Amino acid sequence: MLIKFEVEEAQAMLMRAQYGQNVASKAFKMAAFDAIDLAQIVREQNHEIAKLRQLIAVQKQTIERAADSARALLDHVAQGDLIDA
């Protein structure tokens, strides 16, 4: 299959340099095949990011509850000191 499109010379130079090719069409072909793998990697990483964000939210909630419990305990201990005095 022949695919034809126009690009700026600077873009062609970047692609040739990126893929170590002397011919821009070969570099663009390599980039097209890389795009398939890279799209899968992006999907996987987005899924992992979502899982990590959920984990962070749970951990933040745990820390907030622990801090609330610590404050309540401190208040309770401090009130006990007033009663004993």
Instruction: Give me Rg for the CA atoms of the chain.
Output: 29
73-84 pLDDT per residue, tens: 998 888 766 555
Cβ neighbour number for residue 27 with a 10 Å cutoff: 20
Residue 11 to residue 22: CA distance in whole angstroms: 13
**pTM higher than 0.85 for the full model?**
no
Indicate whether 63 pLDDT > 90. Answer: yes
